[in-house]
Amino acid sequence: MFEKVTIVGVGLISGSLALALKEKGLAKKILGVSRTQKSLDKALALGIIDEGLELEEAVRQSDFIYVAIPVDATLPVMKKVMDLLQENQIVADAGSTKQALCQSLSGHPMRRRFVATHPMWGTEYSGPESAVHGAFEGRACVICEKEKSDPEALQKVESIYKALGMHLVYMDAANHDVHAAYVSHISHITSFALANTVLEKEKEENAIFELAGGGFESTVRLAKSNPSMWAPIFMQNRENVLEVLNEHISQLRKFKSCLEKENEPYLRELMEHANKISRILK
């Protein structure tokens, strides 16, 4: 158990983690750090944190620091945290991109007290009110560059995620960013683009509301995600996202060509090939 844990950012991921740490008896006190007093007040009112503090004071008091903020802000904030870190403290992050952060901290004298992680869970909601109980159960958590973390720090972070019901996956930061582009980042771009397509072509809001079925809702759900979080992810992982986006556009062109040329056999073939995903995602 940690005496005091600091969550930097009091939103979906960090808030859900804080709730889980309390429920599992893994933290006696949760300290919160946020850009806005409004978010801290809301997190306090919801029982997510026990006290809101400035970054320096929160880090000074804590055994474990968890950073879950937009990835562009993570780079300078993590540098501040690492500069404040003592030998008996551990820090981890929850960022959706890993290579830029790991590279930026590679030469830091306290690098070994940092564990680079990405819990593969999220929703389209943000802010303290989006935190939920039991969020991480049955999900994967990626840990990057584990060999660069102290074994004791790594073991403690691993034990947290395992206690939350997650299974662990290990890979280097570059591979993580490639895979994240394919299984997460492209889904969000597609959802944003589809929402814009419908908003551009369907001017009757009532028709969208009345006729949109479960398929449309599930596909476009991610378009409600916070741009302040996702724009930095796309930009930081730009090369990988562009590669995936080019392939996705190529696949869309195949469907378009089938319709233009009235080529139903190939249209069916494309869909049957797509059906194979059911072997992986049951």
Using 50, 70 and 90 to split pLDDT, how confident is the model at 206?
confident
Q: Based on the domain organization, do 220 and 157 belong to the same domain?
A: no
Q: What is the pLDDT of residues 216-259, one digit of tens each?
A: 788 889 999 999 999 999 999 999 999 999 999 999 999 999 99
Q: Which helix (H) or strand (E) holds 67?
A: strand 64-67
Q: How far apart are CA 111 and CA 83, in angstroms?
A: 10
We report the CATH number of the domain holding residue 205 as 1.10.3660.10
Using 50, 70 and 90 to split pLDDT, how confident is the model at 143?
very high
Last residue of one domain, picked from the residues 153, 171, 189: 171
Distances (CA, A) of 216 to 123, 213, 220, 226, 245: 17, 6, 6, 19, 20
pLDDT of residue 118: 98
Q: Based on the domain organization, do 71 and 137 belong to the same domain?
A: yes
- State yes or no: pLDDT of 213 exceeds 90: no
Q: Which helix (H) or strand (E) holds 191?
A: helix 186-201
Last residue of one domain, picked from the residues 171, 199, 233: 171
Q: What is the pLDDT of residues 150-192, one digit of tens each?
A: 999 999 999 999 999 999 999 999 999 999 999 999 999 999 9
- For residue 187, which amino acid is it? S
pLDDT of residue 280: 85
Contact 52, 43 (CB under 8 A): yes
Q: At residue 8, what are phi and psi to the nearest 5 degrees?
A: -95, 110
Q: Based on the domain organization, do 152 and 20 belong to the same domain?
A: yes
Q: Based on the domain organization, do 144 and 184 belong to the same domain?
A: no
pTM (predicted TM-score): 0.92
pLDDT of residue 217: 80
Last residue of one domain, picked from the residues 137, 156, 171: 171
Q: Based on the domain organization, do 144 and 216 belong to the same domain?
A: no
Q: Based on the domain organization, do 73 and 212 belong to the same domain?
A: no
Q: What is the pLDDT of residues 48-70, one digit of tens each?
A: 999 999 999 999 999 999 999 99
Q: Based on the domain organization, do 215 and 143 belong to the same domain?
A: no
Q: Based on the domain organization, do 94 and 223 belong to the same domain?
A: no
Q: Which helix (H) or strand (E) holds 247?
A: helix 238-260
> In the structure encoding, which two tokens stand for residue 90, read together?
């551990």
Q: Based on the domain organization, do 56 and 145 belong to the same domain?
A: yes
Number of structural domains (the chain) is 2
In this structure, is the dihedral angle defined by the CA atoms of residues 119, 124, 128 and 130, taken in order, positive or negative? negative
- Domain interval for residue 18: 2-171
Q: Based on the domain organization, do 137 and 264 belong to the same domain?
A: no
Q: CA gyration radius for the chain?
A: 21
Q: How far apart are CA 180 and CA 122, in angstroms?
A: 13
Q: Based on the domain organization, do 92 and 45 belong to the same domain?
A: yes
We report the CATH number of the domain holding residue 56 as 3.40.50.720
* Crossing angle for the helix pair 238-260 and 264-275, to the nearest 10 degrees: 140
pLDDT of residue 205: 73
CA angle 117, 118, 121 (to 5 degrees): 145
pLDDT of residue 188: 96
